[in-house]
Amino acid sequence: MTITATIAPAEEPRPRTGRPITPVTPGKVALWLFLATEVMFFTGLIGSYIVFRAGSPRTGYSNAYSPATPLERLLDTEGVLIKSAGPNPAAVTEALHAHAGLTEAAAERVLEAVPHGMAGGFKKTRAEAVAARLKAAGAEVEIQPLAIHKWPAPYDPLTNPLAIDLTAFNTFVLICSSVTMALALQSIRDGKRLRCSLFLLATVAIGSLFLSIQVYEYYQLMVGHHYPIGISATGHFRPGSSLFASCFFTMTGFHGAHVTAGVIALSLIFIRSLFRGFSAENHAPVELVGLYWHFVDLVWIILFTIVYLM
């Protein structure tokens, strides 16, 4: 009679939950510590935004006056919205100058913002007279009562210049870059070097597309587009235009700087991957840069919601 004994193979230690866990490495601990500081940094920014927004006066923004104008004596005034300058913009400019009391430069700024050109600050009878003059000059106009807001409302072109459609697409772009980053890590874990390099390259390209769209958005806000008086006194949306503007540029600017740093780091990782710098057993840099990249994506999901959609 033969007695055989079998010895079970050694198993990997598992936590009590039964979940497989990743090995803890010094690099990963260091990166998570860094991400913890980043959590505090971005929470500070977002929290400050919430605090400033909550503390903004009820009359901070309006459709007919520039941001932060004291409106307490102007509540019975109205604005004349110019939807179209018609066939003769010069005549409309002249009518604004002669009958609305605007300087020529101010009248031109109103017309540059058409179809949201707003000439504001008239008593009711005067608003009607100005509207009649502008109609006679060929413009399509509408008299609007003063509308006050605590904070610029999304989808309100008279107080909020942000392009939600474009940024929603940009959010989708950044999400796409996150999945290519995740697939790059998956590839190198499987030992597929070429596939990893291609996904890293795709991540760099998509991340760069995100930045390009953000630069285009900044250009349109600060230079390319002309906005009505309710958004900016100068017609351009720049950090000094309003509290909303400075908050917007601070938050999205710091996030953009993080994306830029991520694209640079990813580019270096990509170049190293071309020289067989990573393998299935040795790919910690890919994992660490990926963690950072996903964090940047996560922050953008929250920023997009709070700054653009609310």
Partner 1 sequence: MNTTPNAAGHDFPHPPYIKVWAALALFTGIEYAYAYLARDFFGMLVIGLLFWAAFKAGLVGWFFMHLKFEGSWVYLLIIPACLLATILVIALYPDQAYKPEEFEPDRGEQSWQAPGSSALPLAAAPHGRAQG
Minimum distance from residue 191 beta carbon to partner 1 (Å): 5
Beta-bridge partner residues of 144: 79
> Which is nearer to partner 1, 153 or 223 (by Cβ)?
153
> Which is nearer to partner 1, 110 or 263 (by Cβ)?
110
Minimum distance from residue 133 beta carbon to partner 1 (Å): 15
Minimum distance from residue 184 beta carbon to partner 1 (Å): 10
For the record, the structure tokens of 186 come out as: 């998956």
Minimum distance from residue 63 beta carbon to partner 1 (Å): 11
Contacts of residue 192, Cβ cutoff 8 Å, sequence gap at least 6: none
Neighbours of 237 (CB within 10 A): 24
Q: At what angle do helices 193-219 and 284-303 cross, to 10 degrees?
A: 30
Pairing relationship of beta strands 61-62 and 117-122 according to DSSP bridges: unpaired
What does the alpha-carbon distance between residue 216 and residue 163 come to, in Å, rounded to a whole number?
11
Contacts of residue 148, Cβ cutoff 8 Å, sequence gap at least 6: 58, 59, 61, 62, 71, 75
> Which is nearer to partner 1, 1 or 24 (by Cβ)?
24
Contact in structure between 279 and 193 (CB atoms under 8 Å) = yes
* 217 Ramachandran zone, left/alpha/beta (phi>0; psi -120 to 50): alpha
Q: What is the amino acid identity at position 231?
A: I
SS3 148: strand
Neighbours of 275 (CB within 10 A): 8
> Which is nearer to partner 1, 21 or 271 (by Cβ)?
21
> Which is nearer to partner 1, 91 or 233 (by Cβ)?
233
- If you write DSSP's letter for every residue of 188-229 in order, what string do you get? HHTT-HHHHHHHHHHHHHHHHHHHHHHHHHHHIIIII----T
> Which is nearer to partner 1, 91 or 176 (by Cβ)?
176
Minimum distance from residue 280 beta carbon to partner 1 (Å): 3
Minimum distance from residue 269 beta carbon to partner 1 (Å): 16
> Which is nearer to partner 1, 119 or 259 (by Cβ)?
119
Minimum distance from residue 77 beta carbon to partner 1 (Å): 9
